[in-house]
Amino acid sequence: MGEEEEVFEEALIPPENFNMVSDYIYRSSFPKKKHFSFLKKLGLKSVLTLILEDYPEQNMKFLEENKIKFLQFGIAGNKEPFVQIPENKISAALAAILDRRNHPMLIHCNKGKHRTGCLIGCMRKLQHWSYTSIFDEYRRFSHPKSRSMDQQFIELFDTRQVWELVDKEHMPKWPTLGDPPI
């Protein structure tokens, strides 16, 4: 059957470590050209990257062609004992995530393991997840290279600094997000 074959040829390739995090929020490793047809289907409004480097021209072109907003909160990997994740970058990134106008959004770094994992871990704190569940998810996506420094960062991260940056009018209606503290 010609139809069947066509379906196979058209297989969509999500970037490695791709996952749906919450309504309209996705995470992954660095997307390459072969992933663009998949990403196009998601109807993204924004891409939030945590890499420090300039964004490749090919990716930038994809964003422009699809009218996708580019948000860069560049941070270095949390490789002990030299580098620390800057809390203010994570807070700013979280405020961007909590703005419905940026949805659907793809979040990525290079491998989608550590920087993305830290950011999602902090987001889960805002969603009131228990630490067991937060670390379980962190390790699932960073395996086999989980870092205890990252988990410590998540544990110590104070979510109050995020709420100061959030535009309450445009917050998503996620079931476990709850109201910002008064």
47, 90, 93, 109: which is the annotated catalytic residue?
109
Q: Contact 159/126 with Cβ under 8 angstroms?
A: yes
Of the candidates 106, 35, 34, 28, the residue with the CA atom closest to the CA atom of residue 71: 106
Tokens (6 digits) for 147: 């870092």
Residues forming the site for its own copies (CB under 8 A) = 3-4, 7, 10-14, 16-23, 38, 41-43, 127-133, 136-137, 140-141, 143, 175-176, 181-182
Which is it for the CA torsion 155, 95, 84, 80, positive or negative?
positive
Minimum gap (Å) between residue 54 Cβ and its own copies: 28
- Per DSSP, 45 falls in state S
- Tokens in use for 36? 């663009």
109 tagged catalytic: yes
Supply the minimum distance, in Å, between the C-beta of residue 63 and its own copies: 18
Q: Give the nearer residue to its own copies in terms of CB position, either 79 or 145.
A: 145
CB nearer to its own copies: give 42 or 95.
42
Cβ distance to its own copies smaller for residue 7 or 156 = 7
Shortest Å, Cβ 171 to its own copies = 16
Question: What is the closest distance, in whole angstroms, from the C-beta atom of residue 90 to its own copies in the complex?
Answer: 19
Judge contact between 97 and 21, C-beta under 8 A.
no
Shorter beta-carbon distance to its own copies: residue 16 or 87? 16
What distances in angstroms separate CA 21 from CA 26, 61, 182, one per listed residue? 5, 26, 26
